[in-house]
Structure 1
Amino acid sequence: MSLINVTNLTFAYDGSYDNIFENVSFQIDTEWKLGFTGRNGRGKTTFLNLLLGKYEYSGNISANVSFEYFPFHVENKENNTLDVISDIFPDYLHWKLMRELSLLKVSEDVLYRPFDSLSSGEQTKVLLAALFLKENSFLLIDEPTNHLDMNARKLVSDYLGTKSGFILVSHDRSFLDNCVDHILSINKTNVEIQKGNFADWWENKKRQDNFEIAENEKLRKDIKRLTDSAKRTNHWSHEVEKTKNGTRNSGSKVDKGYIGHKAAKLKALRT
């Protein structure tokens, strides 16, 4: 086990006045199966690219693992699949490769066909198998279900459930639920990590949202109560000033009886 440490991470794109991340700090265990969630535009892909070293940033990201990105960019898709795998991981062992492909229900004959002749689902499975062969690596898996049918999604999800050491971005909630044990979420003001699958995180989020709504409603009522109280106090003060100036008496002298009556009434109101 080792840790990926993110300390005081701050990043903004050139020309932008708004930071995507600002003084963000957290730790990731490299054995975790992390689901990565957050609204579109919040910075999920940006964070993956920061881990890959594609952008400059302030703060620190330290790790004793290498980061591997899926979908892996294949330069020469006309090559045989076995050659593509060799480009990804030259030191692979054939029996380990066959073990991974067997788990993904991929037949051996696929290895001797041009990579571009494989279906999109077969390409997804082959690339995942090759990347998981690499030791001391941490996979950054970005939307692996895009080209998978329902059966293949279940198969790949089960496969990922047997693995560890990855961050998974997917909009498929059931896919996430089946294969992650922690959730990394990018929120409006912070980044959080929570133990459990997506369903656990979602339930906690709804409870937190409902609590915040209730607190905001309580605060709104408190503000209205204080505002109304201030208005009443101001009105009473104004009435007292009017009685002091004799504005309720048409004569030139102040009606002291009227003042006493209003003062007593005001006192009664206050008590």
Structure 2
Amino acid sequence: MNEAELFDLELRVLLEAIYQRYHYDFREYAISSLRRRVRQAMSRFGCPRLADLQHRLLHEPELFAQAMQFFTVQVSEMFRDPEYFLALREHAVPVLRTYPSLKVWVAGCSTGEEVWSMAILLQEEGLLERTLLYATDINPEALEAAERGVFNIDRMAQFSGNYLRAGGKASLSDYYSTAYNGAAMDRQLKRNIVFADHSLATDAVFSEVQLVSCRNVLIYFNRELQDRAIGLFHEALVHRGFLGLGSKESLQFGRHAHDFEAVAREQRLYRRIS
């Protein structure tokens, strides 16, 4: 067994230990991505060996809380892939309008850029007042940041460009106020958002919803965990409910490929059909 194989063996032991100690399950995450991020954690916490990192994580819960940033990927932006949000406006919104009340699930919401984008879209389409918007993630620090809804002002120009390409009907600046180099999202948008801890690896469905948006999350899962997550979405969605995925994600080769039909294939928007 060479050094790379030994490292992967130790990594699997670490993931099992984390699951037993903290009940966070990363065992079915893509090994290539985890390998890179765990090495970054070793460097950050001054651990020359993976065994040293494991010892500290198991014996120092406060360190594990800091290390969550390496086990979960917190990369997002408002109205990321604008064509996806435009597809929601064109294909999903007309159907969603037919429901007297709505539930929307943004799974793996990270630091909140996507859920605030969804809230703005629903507000502009006259749907937010009758929508309960669930925003879930496993990283407690990311959830806290998402709920605060404050972003660096330097990012807002890019977000504004995305918003306009996504079919925005006003100016993104109408939905935030600025102070001390931060942009704070309008609190009125938050009234219908519920932020909650939820793991796609271990938790069950918690509500019936008309739309699930889970974007750029499945790419960090192996095939088995991808199938589990899609199964949760299928179970949560009403008949003919909508599922949105990231631009590099697909249902094509998964266990649930025949449980959905493409509405806008290039934008990764699907509907539940069985």
Same fold by TM-score greater than 0.5: no
Query: What is the TM-score normalised by the length of structure 2?
Result: 0.29
Query: What is the TM-score normalised by the length of structure 1?
Result: 0.29
